[in-house]
Amino acid sequence: MSVQFEIKGRCPGALAPMPSGDGLVVRIRPRSGFVSSDQARTIASAATKFGNGFVELTSRANLQIRGVLANAHPEMIAMLSRASLIDADVTREDRRNIVVTPFGCGDLRQEALSIAHALEEHLARVTDLPSKFGFAIDNAPTRVLADTPADIRIERDTEGHVIVRADGMAEGQRVTSSKAIEPEAVALTAVRLAEWFVASGGVVAGRGRMAWHVMNGARPPGIPSHHGSPAPLATPAMPGAVAEGLLVASEFGQLPAEGLLSLADLCDELRITPWRMLLLSGVVTPPLIASLIFSPDDVRLRVTACTGAPGCPQAHAQTRPIAHALAPHVPAGAHLHVSGCQKGCAMTRPTSFTLVAGARGLSLVKNGNARSAPVRSDLASADLMADPSLVFGDA
């Protein structure tokens, strides 16, 4: 099938929002991967006053508000600025693309925050990085951010040393010869790798990703002499109790503003994850909020859907009503992605079932993504919701 969608080449920001079918999309990038309870209250208030009343959790560990009118944007930015949620300028906002693991207590947590702070300060000196170029701080003994988009990864190796690894490389550079951590040295090593990426031709027409650069033969300096293999992967995170508190999800990563206000009353710190979940630091007992998901067995976790029409001008259908209706019918262990177009923004990796909206109806892809060849086409959404076996019949 032919590909028909527009690639923007950048993500929305707060200072540089992205126009969409329902107004501006304003994306807030929390510093060091968390917001305080007071900041969460401000974000919820901004969503109610200026947006559509929801706060979205993104796959890049950001918070997003949709439906903002252009003439209300300056007042919204002023409100967010007073809560220390906005960068000084667009350039700093674009470069501060850092995902921090939400896990870790005590020294391990402080280490991640110190590295993030030092990295933010030094990133100001790097010029010409693509707006989607990002960093992942994944410093626990087991990695949780391996599937999160990032170009430079700060991890531990199998012996416990901190390494800085170019995405796409099997090994990373050890920052120190001992296991003692120097956040400044880690940040400078990551920044030097970013500068190498630019200097070695990784950016073409304002775009570029590290894994692609490496795949095409580029090799960052420093690896042969002091290198380490990244630590093993952790079990995928799911809603429920964890050592640090409580992981909370919401359907399609869309949280009602009043729900966020309620969560802000429970803890001093809300850690933002790249899995469209929040980690409520220190919380043990799930609150009584019906719109939230606290169990890994909730069928709503088996579906993913993009914004869809009319919120996204590129979408050919309303995606979330379809996903919501089909969620109870998704087989255990399987996943359904409903995409408004072939771009597949909400889920780029293959899933068990993918429904892709087009001008003539929905196409069904099995064990692929939104750009894969379909096994059926021209399906009507009403027919699918009335008879889910059209999707899952032979599963």
Give per-residue pLDDT as tens, 172-194. Answer: 999 877 777 789 999 999 999 99
Query: For 174-190, b where at least 16 C-beta lie within 10 A, e where not — what string?
Result: bbeeeeebbbbebbbbb
- What does the pLDDT average to over 275-284? 95
Tokens of 226: 């002091």
Report whether 356 contacts 376 (CB < 8 A). no
Exposure on the CB side of residue 32, measured as CA atoms within 13 A = 16
The set of residues, in sequence order, having a beta carbon less than 8 Å from that of 227 and lying 6+ positions away, is: 163, 171, 172, 173, 174
For residue 357, pLDDT beyond 60: yes
- Residue 394 pLDDT grade (very low, low, confident, very high; cuts 50, 70, 90): confident
pLDDT of residue 276: 94
Structure token digits, residue 225? 């002499």
Q: How confident is the model at residue 222 (pLDDT cuts 50, 70, 90)?
A: low
- Both tokens of 243, joined, read 């050592």
Residue 2: the pLDDT is 46
| Residue 1 in this model has a pLDDT that exceeds 50 | no
The confidence score (pLDDT) of residue 179 equals 72
Whole-number percent of the chain with pLDDT over 70: 96
300 DSSP assignment: G
Classify residue 177 by its DSSP letter. Answer: S
Q: Which residues contact 382 (CB under 8 A, 6 or more apart)?
A: none
DSSP type of residue 143 = B
Token pair recorded at residue 329: 């019918």
CA 96 centroid distance within chain: 14
User: Is residue 32 a contact partner of residue 84, using CB atoms and an 8 Å limit?
Assistant: no
Residue 165 phi, psi dihedral angles, 5° rounding: -120, 130
SS (H, E, C) 332-368: CCCCEEEECCCCCCCCCCCEEEEEEEECCEEEEEEEE
Mean pLDDT of 316-333: 95
Taking all residues of the chain, what is their mean pLDDT, rounded to a whole number? 92
Residue 3 has pLDDT above 80, yes or no: no
What pLDDT is recorded for position 289?
A: 86
pLDDT exceeding 90 applies to what percent of the chain? 82
pLDDT per position as a tens digit, 62-74? 999 999 999 999 9
